[in-house]
Amino acid sequence: MLHSQTHLRSRPIQAGHLRAFEAVARHLNFRVAAEEMALTQSAVSRQIQALEDEVGVSLFLRHTRAVELTAAGMQLLQAVAQALPRIDSAVRQIRQSAGRRHVAVTTFASFASMWLIPRLEAFQRENPDIDIRIDASDTAFDLDVADIDIAVRYALPARMSPGARRLFGESVTPMVSPWLLKGGPALKKPEDVLGFTLIEAGDAYTPHLEWLTWRRWLDTNGLERAQPKRWLSFNYAYQMVQAALSGQGIVLARPPLVAESLARGDLVEVFAGGHFPAARLHSPMAYWLLVSPRSAARPEVRAFADWLAAQAVATREVTGEAGDPDEINDLD
């Protein structure tokens, strides 16, 4: 039975002709696209015609010596140009991981660069047969459906699902390179920070990040409306810390993310020792470990999750954070 034209145009299109469409759209030349795909020009033309029949409109304007995308063609190209590379990437990863144990991890860029990557070599040394794939972005994946095994997230407890494992909490405190202390004014009381450049996040003055700001720290320490020698702002936490490591000023840092620098002595906590209780301010945010329900039974995923939890314990020891409940279920 023949389908009606309306039915044909309402069903999803077949994907087989999209690669030919992308090649022609990219080159705006049927012959060059055919050579790239190792097909005849007539074969590519038939694929484009079949695709146009399925879509229901013309995708190209065919001139005597040139080809031009229609408005519909431009719209389709935007989607295809994003989808095909992602499909190709997924296939490459599948081929590379075939028969190999692997763990896919997602987390945000600052956590990946400042906390996870510096420690990762130790896990790989102990587990040489496990491949790790890290997606460092702010995209929130649904672990029930995404091709992700483990997620490390930064959020309020109320936003975490049952079973989320708390790695460590968050606080902020002034930190500085020790060699800057040698050549600058003394740092013995909170107002002394005003003699230095203060480094902070450029987007910190938004409602959900206000506890990370120098303004909050200064106000809490009785320095309302006080201004430092200079302000220096960056988009990312690792940029702020790099500036502090190079001696450009005092950074209001998060101890868990700079635990390695603290342990090595590359950074020092300015008011360590508890002489000024408000020197270290706690925030309501925390870092959480989530394991995909679809991946929880795989030994390599369990091994990586347990390793992350053990690394978190070491981080809490370096930063002086008290023991934490393991899961969101344990919180009051």
Q: Which CATH architecture has domain 5-96?
A: Orthogonal Bundle (1.10)
Question: Quick one: pLDDT band at residue 242, thresholds 50, 70, 90?
Answer: very high
Dist. CA 170–CA 252, nearest whole Å: 12
Dist. CA 212–CA 257, nearest whole Å: 13
Dist. CA 129–CA 119, nearest whole Å: 17
Q: What integer pLDDT is reported at residue 248 of this predicted model?
A: 94
Strands 250-253 and 197-201: parallel
Q: Is 135 helix (H, G, I), strand (E, B) or coil?
A: strand
Dist. CA 148–CA 105, nearest whole Å: 6
Which region among 11-20, 70-79, 249-258 has the lowest average model confidence (pLDDT)?
11-20
Where along the chain do its domains lie? 5-96, 102-332
User: Which single residue is written with the structure tokens 């994003």?
Assistant: 82
User: Which single residue is written with the structure tokens 């954070």?
Assistant: 321
**Average pLDDT for 62-69:** 89
Question: Quick one: pLDDT band at residue 1, thresholds 50, 70, 90?
Answer: very low
Cβ-based burial of 219 (10 A; exposed 0-12, middle 13-18, buried ≥19):
middle
Q: Is residue 304 predicted with pLDDT exceeding 80?
A: yes
Q: Which residues, at least 6 apart from 36, have a Cβ–Cβ distance to it below 8 Å?
A: 23, 27
Q: What would the pLDDT profile of 135-179 be if each residue is shown by its tens digit?
A: 887 777 666 666 789 999 988 888 888 889 999 998 899 999 998
**Average pLDDT for 228-241:** 91
Among 100, 87, 108, 159, residue whose Cα is nearest residue 132: 100
Dist. CA 178–CA 195, nearest whole Å: 16
Q: What would the pLDDT profile of 106-143 be if each residue is shown by its tens digit?
A: 998 889 999 999 999 999 999 999 999 998 877 776 66
Dist. CA 190–CA 2, nearest whole Å: 81
Which tokens sit at 80? 């295809």
Which region among 18-22, 98-102, 198-202 has the lowest average model confidence (pLDDT)?
98-102
5-96 and 102-332 share one fold:
no
Query: What does the mean pLDDT of the chain come to?
Result: 85
- Enter the DSSP assignment of 235: S
Question: Quick one: pLDDT band at residue 328, thresholds 50, 70, 90?
Answer: low
Among 199, 202, 210, residue whose Cα is nearest residue 232: 199
Q: Which residues, at least 6 apart from 80, have a Cβ–Cβ distance to it below 8 Å?
A: 18, 21, 22, 25
Q: What integer pLDDT is reported at residue 92 of this predicted model?
A: 72
Q: What integer pLDDT is reported at residue 324 of this predicted model?
A: 53
- Enter the DSSP assignment of 250: E
Q: Which residues, at least 6 apart from 212, have a Cβ–Cβ distance to it below 8 Å?
A: 172, 200, 201, 204, 252, 254, 283
Q: Which CATH architecture has domain 102-332?
A: 3-Layer(aba) Sandwich (3.40)
Q: What integer pLDDT is reported at residue 332 of this predicted model?
A: 40
Query: What's the predicted TM-score (pTM) here?
Result: 0.66
